[in-house]
Amino acid sequence: TLAFSDRVARHFATALPAVQGEVAVSMAEGVERSYDDMQKQRRLLECRLFSSLDPDDLQDLASKCGLVTFKAGKVIFRQETSAEMMLIVHSGVVSLRARTTTNGGDFEMEESGQKEESLGEEIATVSEGAMIGEFALLTGESRRNTAVASSNVVAVLVNRAALQQLFFAKKLTVRISLSLSL
């Protein structure tokens, strides 16, 4: 399996003599990058938005995506901001929150008396495999909610440039729209 291959590559990378150290490190890094790329491809393929992509397009998109980490409590993006990226949760839990005029407006008072921006009420939680931020990215509208890491989160980051390249180069807008409407 890939996990076993990864362990073997790491073992031999550290066991090689110092003269070959740079080559061994680059081999181990190559295995890690390859594993990360496979994880990104798997997550992309599991999303309805990308499930109709052919393997080459999927691999190309995965190579342009990143894996990002957010610590528990970290704000991932805020309501009413523009979208330059969307995320696919790889591990962890994300709280989606929305501010309204009925749930406290823009600020809350901390116990210390300091004003802190309100993140709003929790409207949903999402976990492994969920897409967040895709609506704002695809439509150009402002974000409708704030996303906060409820636990440590690892996610696949898909940025606007990668999607635009894919859409315009491959003319995939129709195929992706159809997959979303099914």
Mean pLDDT per 10-residue segment, the chain (182 residues): 42 37 41 74 91 88 93 95 94 93 51 61 94 90 94 95 80 49 44
Q: In whole angstroms, what is the distance from residue 105 CA to residue 82 CA?
A: 20
| pTM across the whole model | 0.69
pLDDT score at 101? 64
Residue 45, judged by CB atoms within 10 A of its CB (0-12, 13-18, 19+), counts as: middle
Q: What is the pLDDT of residue 77?
A: 95
Is the CB of residue 137 less than 8 Å from the CB of residue 180?
Answer: no
Structure confidence at residue 69 (pLDDT): 96
Q: What is the pLDDT of residue 52?
A: 86
pLDDT at 18: 38
